[in-house]
Amino acid sequence: MDTVQYHLPASRIPRAWYNIVADLPSPPAPPLHPGTLQPLGPEDLSPIFPMNLIEQEVSREREIEIPGEVRDIYAQWRPSPLYRARRLEKALDTPAHIYFKYEGCSPAGSHKLNTAVAQAWYNREAGVKYLSTETGAGQWGSSLAMACSFFGLECKVYMVRVSYDQKPYRRALMEAFGATVSASPSNETESGRAILAAHPDSRGSLGIAISEAVEVAVKDPKTKYALGSVLNHVLLHQTVIGLEAIEQMELAGDAPDVLIGCAGGGSNFAGLVTPFLGLKLKGKCNARVIAVEPSACPSMTKGHFTYDFGDTSHLTPLVKMHTLGSTFIPPGIHAGGLRYHGMAPLVSHLLDLGLAEATTVQQLDAFAAGIRFARAEGIVPAPEANHAVAVAIDQALEAKAEGKQRTILFNLSGHGHFDMQSYIDYNAGKLVNYEYPAEEIAMALAGLPPTGR
């Protein structure tokens, strides 16, 4: 019988996260204070984050030990399985080997729990009582809500309006874990009220929801803010994915020629690829590395690589990243987790260094690929993950056209069980492709802060 699953025992859960910054030829550009335009000091971030996570954010250590209590919780679903998609290979009639690392087996249904558990643990260690956050599709909000309930923290979630309406079950899940959820923009914050005054029908965006959640943290000393992607410490926590995958590919006796991840803020992508890139920098891995973004929100392929705010109301520091402009409100595609105006500074830096490349996929192509995958492999991917599936299938078909073997590894970042409305809409022919919103992006880019141009 052909092996399809490469499983590691609990003893092989990584003991340390891998920080690629230690091995890069140059570090990413530092975040700047929006007033002075000087690099931030750790104390500048302390109203928002606890010091232990700020230390991770700026760390140049190669390995950061995973706390025992966090590893114990990881053991519920980690090491996550790595599968070979043999039936998909057959269906495509390709000589390529297609592997995927499956993060949908976490109790929250995606990779987000890897960092949620870690962030809740560090906040509790720092004596924090309340965490505020934003969520797009609800994957991050439900992960943080779950992690907060494990560690006795209270959780407040600002959920992007379009997802709040599209995905009521995600909201119910957050509430089941004890979180309080508001649709964003809300009337509860100055940022939310300002947006509603100008745009009463606002669909919301991650940038707006971040402003609301940060505002709440800044105004209350007992509340800190937690971000589900983009930041260095978040990407760091996700490296358990790639560290495990390296061992699993060894078990499979194969080495990846191509690594693929979808990228919203960049965390599941970086989590899979940075450990492999660490090997590549030592000459021990040869893989091409591809980040996939939606055509409707193309920060890496159409944005500027420059300093910008992480949120719409400009409460965050300036970070150097690929950005469409912090006021850009992406079309309401169903891959809510990919609707962010920027890209992680670390991922942007990897692109700049030529260690990774970026490509786009249209919404309808992403769903077509997801359905094809589901019919062959029995897993319905999250709409975000469909973007990675689409490029993995393209790669496999390209190998077929060339008549060459190619080993493809992609990250299946989550399952789509809470996103079935989007599949219903797709099957009913109600989903559309969005043209590249050139005019709106040009307007948002024109509003970049002065350092940025």
Ligand X SMILES: *Cc1c(COP(=O)(O)O)cnc(C)c1O
**Which positions lie near ligand X, rule CB under 6 A?**
110, 112, 139-140, 229, 262-269, 337-338, 382, 384-385, 413-414
Nearest distance, CB of residue 58 and ligand X, angstroms: 20
Q: Which is nearer to ligand X, 39 or 168 (CB)?
A: 168
Q: Which is nearer to ligand X, 244 or 384 (CB)?
A: 384
The H or E element spanning position 184 is strand 180-184
Torsion angle in degrees (nearest 10) through CA of 351, 106, 145, 346: -10
Q: Are 253 and 6 in contact (CB under 8 A)?
A: no
- Dist CA 293 CA 296 (whole Å): 8
Q: How far from 329 is each of 35, 201, 332, 358, CA to CA, in Å?
A: 25, 13, 9, 21
- Dist CA 2 CA 391 (whole Å): 25
Determine the distance from the C-alpha atom of residue 209 to the mean position of all C-alpha atoms in its chain, rounded to a whole number: 16
Nearest distance, CB of residue 206 and ligand X, angstroms: 10
Nearest distance, CB of residue 352 and ligand X, angstroms: 18
Q: Which is nearer to ligand X, 132 or 413 (CB)?
A: 413
Instruction: Reduce the secondary structure of 250-315 to three states and give it as a string.
Output: HHHCCCCCEEEEECCCCHHHHHHHHHHHHHHHCCCCCCEEEEEEECCCCHHHHCEEEEEECCCCCC
Q: Which is nearer to ligand X, 291 or 393 (CB)?
A: 291
- State both tokens at 374: 């589901």
Q: Which is nearer to ligand X, 135 or 326 (CB)?
A: 135
Q: Which is nearer to ligand X, 263 or 300 (CB)?
A: 263
Torsion angle in degrees (nearest 10) through CA of 115, 59, 256, 348: 90
Q: Are 370 and 386 in contact (CB under 8 A)?
A: yes
Conformational region of residue 278, where left means phi above 0, alpha means psi within -120 to 50, and beta covers everything else: alpha
Q: Which is nearer to ligand X, 66 or 338 (CB)?
A: 338
